[in-house]
Amino acid sequence: MFDALYISATGMQAQQLNVDTIANNLANVNTTGFKKSKISFTDLMVREAGRLAPSQEEAGIVGGGSRLGAGVGIASTSKLFDMGDLKKTESAFDIAIQGEGFLEVTMPDGSSAYTRGGTFKVNRDGLLATSGGFPLKPNLTIPDNAQNMRVDSDGRVRVQVAGQTTPVEIGQLELVRFTSPSGLMAQGDNLYRSSTHSGEAISGKAAEDGMGSLAQGFLEGSNVKLTEEMVSLMVAQRVYEANVKVMQASDEMLGMINGLRK
């Protein structure tokens, strides 16, 4: 009986985290470049059941070798990097990645983070940077007298400088990919860091060798599908209610035992 209480408690706890994850997905349904999270469940460690009574064995119930589960736990929380819909903005500083890949960003401590694109700007050092001010890698310096910026699908960046008729190429944006992008660690602000689960970053040229291409004047929308999340929310709620019922039934049965008279 006490096992049933504990098992139902693990189910309630797991479904609460599931609901929290779904809630975060729904809250970011309109966030540019947001990638939804997914919870994976696993059964907890099993234990050996005690030796059954002879009458139970005669009834066909497996004896001392039977194993009982101990509830449910969270196996992992991972990001799904399915591509979101591209939204046309016509802004030269809006850049999306169409296909696989990430842009590399240099963080203040010198480490690297990765982004799927978004609205960029020129930071105080004159470098092309994310909206948070973190420069893209390799560093691309935008001249003060630049009038227009052009980013080709293969990552070449050119600017129109005042007084010149021919655009000036200032560098090339490269993309990186990972063996297991679901293992990336989200840092907020549409940034991710590599981990042992994601593997090392693999650099490559945009639009080549399976890498995605860059789309200037577009933003990638969230990959959250409202209908799917609402269905998942209802299922999680029903499972939570079922575990509550198990706990209530176990409590009532314990009450009956406590109320027994000799």
Residue 157 in this model has a pLDDT that exceeds 90? yes
Residue 228 in this model has a pLDDT that exceeds 90? yes
Residue 152 in this model has a pLDDT that exceeds 70? yes
Q: Is the pTM of this model over 0.85?
A: no
Residue 58 in this model has a pLDDT that exceeds 70? no
Distance CA 41, CA 35 (A): 20
Residue 53 in this model has a pLDDT that exceeds 60? no
Percent of the residues in the chain that have a pLDDT greater than 90, as a whole number? 72
Residue 134 in this model has a pLDDT that exceeds 90? yes
Question: What local confidence, expressed as pLDDT, does residue 76 receive?
Answer: 87
Residue 190 in this model has a pLDDT that exceeds 60? yes
